[in-house]
Amino acid sequence: MTHLLAVDIGWGWTLAIKTVVVLGLIPLGALILGYTFLLKMMSHMQSRLGPMDPGGFHGWFQLVGDGMKFLQKEDIMPEQADRRVFALAPAVVVISTFLIFVVIPTGPRLVVKDLDVGVFYALAVSSLSIIGVLMAGWASANKFALLGALRAAAQLIAYELPLLLAVVGVVVQAGTMNLNGIVTAQQNGAIFGWDGLGNPYILTQFVGFALFLVAAQAELTQTPFDMPVAESELVSGYMVEYTGFRFLFFFIGEFGTAFAFAALAATLVLGGWALPGVHGGTADLLGPLVLFVKLMAVAFLIFWVRFTYPRLREDQLQAMAWKYLIPIALANILVTGLFKVWL
CB 209 within 8 A of CB 162: no
Q: How far is the CB of 233 from other proteins (least distance, A)?
A: 5
Q: Report the distance separating Cα 107 and Cα 10, nearest Å.
A: 20
Cβ proximity to other proteins: between 92 and 147 the closer is 147
Query: Which residues have C-beta within 8 Å of that of residue 23, sequence separation ≥ 6?
Result: 98
Query: Which residues have C-beta within 8 Å of that of residue 326, sequence separation ≥ 6?
Result: 161, 162, 165
Binds other proteins by CB under 8 A, chosen from 12, 232, 342, 343: 232
Q: How far is the CB of 238 from other proteins (least distance, A)?
A: 15
CA 332 to chain centre: 22
- Binding characters for other proteins, 157-176, by CB under 8 A (x = yes): --------------------
Residues binding other proteins: what is the number (CB under 8 A)?
28
Decide: helix, strand or coil at residue 104: coil
| 53 lines the binding site for other proteins (CB under 8 A) | no
Cβ proximity to other proteins: between 164 and 325 the closer is 325
Closest CA to 230 of 149, 153, 290, 295: 149
| 87 lines the binding site for other proteins (CB under 8 A) | no
| 305 lines the binding site for other proteins (CB under 8 A) | no
| 61 lines the binding site for other proteins (CB under 8 A) | no
- What is the helix (H) or strand (E) element at residue 332, kind and residue range? helix 326-342
Question: Is the backbone of residue 250 left (phi > 0), alpha (psi -120 to 50) or beta?
Answer: alpha
| 39 lines the binding site for other proteins (CB under 8 A) | no
Binds other proteins by CB under 8 A, chosen from 13, 280, 316, 327: 316
Positions in the binding site for other proteins (CB under 8 A) = 42, 45-48, 143-144, 147, 223-224, 226-227, 230-235, 307-316
